[in-house]
Amino acid sequence: MVDSDTGEHYFLEVNCRIQVEHPVTEAVTGRDLVALQLQIAQDEPLGFTQDDVALDGHAVECRLNAEDVARSFLPTPGTLSLFSVPDLPGLRVDTHCCPGASIPPYYDSLMAKLIAHAAGRDAALDVLIEALEDLDVEGVETNRTLLISVLGHDDYRRGAVTTDWLERAIV
């Protein structure tokens, strides 16, 4: 994290498990991190060094959740009568959802991770916005409208957000 007043950087955590954001790294490196972890677990060599890892473009991930933003992000369990995500160039969708799928009240309300990869950050954000606008979901309330608002907001596009920005600017 970066303190917006002082510019000081703070390190939050070290976590040795795969992170939910790993598809962003996979998109810009072209390397499957889960497959590589399994390879290492089988005591097999990686076959490349850090110097072999090249970054290509920008990737951005958003999480589509079954929640009611207007009601303090209250989870909205239910059964999906419709779930369809557009097939777009540069878009990866990690989901368990399909028509008839149940969103239970007991766990994380995550429905899908949408990951966009493009040559530049704005282009990746545009892919995510298009995907969210063309996404069809019925049966539960989602945070889709909020995601579109955030991804398209000038402050977000300029990187001018802080930990209280969402509450001040959007919600």
User: To 10 degrees, what angle do helices 121-134 and 144-152 make?
Assistant: 150
pLDDT for the residue 14: 67
Cβ–Cβ under 8 Å, residues 12 and 2: no
Q: Looking at the domain assignment, is residue 28 inside a domain?
A: no
Please count the other Cβ atoms lying within 10 Å of the Cβ belonging to residue 18. Answer: 12
**Which of 17, 31, 144, 158 does the annotation list as catalytic?**
17
Q: Is 17 a catalytic site residue?
A: yes
Angle, helix 22-29 to helix 33-41, in steps of 10 degrees: 100
Q: Which of 113, 112, 116, 110 is nearest to 129 (CA)?
A: 116
Q: Supply the pLDDT for residue 87.
A: 96
In a domain, 8, yes or no: no
Tell me the mean pLDDT in the region 2-21. Answer: 82
Does residue 143 sit within a domain? yes
What global pTM score does this model have? Answer: 0.86
Whether the predicted pLDDT of 109 surpasses 80: yes
pLDDT, tens only, 55-80: 999 999 999 999 999 999 999 999 99
Question: Is position 102 within any domain?
Answer: yes
Residue 142 covered by a domain: yes
Residue 165's domain comprises 57-169
Asked whether the predicted pLDDT for residue 161 surpasses 70, the reply is yes
Q: Would residue 38 count as lying in a domain?
A: no
> In the chain, which residue ranges form alpha helices assigned H by DSSP?
22-29, 33-41, 121-134, 144-152, 154-158, 165-169
Whether the per-residue pLDDT at 15 is higher than 80: the answer is no
In a domain, residue 46? The reply is: no
The CATH number of residue 129's host domain is: 3.30.470.20
Structural domain total, the chain: 1
